[in-house]
Amino acid sequence: MEKVNGIGGVFFRARDPKALSAWYEKHLGVDYYDPVPWKQREGYTVFAPFAEDTEYFGRADQQWMINFRVDDLAAMTAQLEQAGITVEADPDWDSEVGKFARIHDPEGNPIELWQPNQ
């Protein structure tokens, strides 16, 4: 059976796509696709539909949430906070798969940060 071998893109609507792309590049290192797309490092990717009434994403009308893997969650958190970005963390979110934190982009989209256990 043929299988896909990774995520080729994440596409979503934005009020100001240019400004939002610049924010992702500046604060998270996710390069805009032109002229060369962002190249991520190989690793685990969780693909998990949630129940439509989940509160995990925040707003009831929020249809998606992206999760980015990080090497050092504490360092990433400090970097984001120094840039004036609010970082939510809750020890109850951490589990046998790693540590988690959450931020929101300037348009209110939730972003989960995940430091997998080694």
Band (pLDDT 50/70/90 cuts) for residue 30 is very high
17-116 — its CATH code? 3.10.180.10
What was the pLDDT predicted at 95? 87
Concatenating the DSSP letter of every residue in the chain gives -----S--------SSHHHHHHHHHHHH----SSSS---PPS---------TT--TTSSTT----EEEE-S-HHHHHHHHHHTT---B--GGG-BTTEEEEEEE-TT--EEEEEEE--
Query: Is the pLDDT assigned to residue 15 strictly greater than 80?
Result: yes
Mean pLDDT of 37-56: 88
**Predicted TM-score of the model (pTM):** 0.86
What was the pLDDT predicted at 46? 87
Question: Taking all residues of the chain, what is their mean pLDDT, rounded to a whole number?
Answer: 90
Mean pLDDT of 5-14: 86
